[in-house]
């Protein structure tokens, strides 16, 4: 009888340990879930650089932040990425198309950046991976050694990861988050925009960490 009681006691003890372990994992998972948005924000202190780059997307906040950084004297030039768009299709229909890069240019000029200091990339980029490759090429071509990349807060960690993988160590990077971007890092799960952004960034980071097996689509 005493043996049965001891066995029952051991089983009961193991169940308590398993339950405690499960609850601990749930708590840790919940904690990680809540802090995921804040973890994605990985920017650097501002430092002087040769150029400021406005990544495509996040309009108008990224261009606004780039103009502010320019006015503070951190770099003498602002480069603007040209995203892929439906130019050819709309041209065939006789419809004029103004790309996002043109609106970014107008925002920069309106906020005090001289037009002569703005350079728009000639070739369109499909995604951030291609943008990083393009700016690295442009910088080496123009003998630039440092860049401030302005992007959305949740995008900063992936920009850094892509830069480390694709750009090389000879060009210094400062990542800057757009201050007026509406991303809520502390409550990202409360709206679909922020939730979608976090999922997209996590998938993008997994792709970078895996060695970029998923490639940009080709037109």
d(CA 93, CA 96): 9
Give the pairing of strands 118-120 and 172-177. unpaired
Query: CATH number of the domain at 40-209, out of 3.40.50.300, 3.40.50.720, 3.40.50.620, 1.10.3720.10?
Result: 3.40.50.620
Domain ranges of the chain: 40-209
Cis-peptide, bond into residue 102, ω within 30° of zero: no
Query: Residue 28 to residues 33, 108, 199: CA-CA distances in angstroms?
Result: 8, 44, 19
Give the list of residues 6+ apart from residue 139 with CB closer than 8 angstroms, or none.
50, 51, 145, 147, 171
Give φ, ψ of 83 to 5 degrees: -75, 155
Encoded tokens for 104: 């970014």
pLDDT (tens place) for every residue of the chain, 219 residues total: 556 655 555 666 666 666 656 555 655 555 556 789 999 999 999 999 999 999 999 999 999 999 999 999 999 999 999 988 777 787 778 787 788 999 999 999 999 999 999 999 988 898 999 999 999 999 999 999 999 999 999 999 999 999 999 998 888 999 999 999 999 999 999 999 999 999 999 999 999 999 999 887 655
d(CA 57, CA 194): 14
Quote the pLDDT of residue 107.
97
Quote the pLDDT of residue 20.
58
β-strand partners of 148: 52, 174
Q: Do 74 and 46 form a contact (C-beta atoms < 8 A)?
A: yes
The label of the residue with tokens 């609106």 reads 103
For helices 128-141 and 156-166, angle between their N-to-C axes, nearest 10 degrees: 50
pTM comes to 0.84
Q: In 3-state terms, the chain is what percent helix, strand and coil (to 5)?
A: 55, 10, 35
Quote the pLDDT of residue 91.
75
């Amino acid at each position: 009888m005493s043996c049965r009681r001891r066995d029952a006691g051991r089983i009961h003890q193991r169940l308590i340990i398993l339950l405690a372990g499960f609850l601990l994992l749930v708590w840790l998972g919940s904690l990680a879930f809540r802090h995921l948005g804040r973890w994605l924000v990985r920017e650097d202190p501002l430092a002087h650089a040769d150029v400021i780059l406005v990544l495509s997307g996040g309009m108008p906040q990224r261009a606004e932040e780039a103009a502010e950084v320019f006015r503070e004297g951190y770099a003498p030039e602002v480069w603007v990425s040209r995203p892929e768009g439906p130019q050819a299709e709309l041209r065939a229909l006789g419809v004029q198309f103004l790309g996002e890069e043109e609106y970014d240019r107008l925002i920069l000029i309106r906020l005090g950046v001289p037009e002569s200091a703005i350079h728009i990339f000639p070739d369109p980029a499909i995604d951030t991976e291609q943008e990083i490759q393009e700016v690295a090429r442009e910088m080496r071509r123009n003998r630039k050694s440092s860049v401030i990349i302005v992007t959305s807060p949740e995008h900063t960690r992936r920009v850094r990861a892509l830069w480390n993988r694709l750009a090389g160590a000879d060009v210094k990077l400062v990542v800057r988050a757009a201050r007026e971007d509406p991303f809520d890092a502390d409550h990202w799960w409360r709206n679909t925009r922020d939730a979608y952004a976090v999922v997209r960034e996590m998938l993008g980071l997994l792709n970078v960490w895996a060695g970029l097996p998923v490639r940009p689509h080709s037109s």
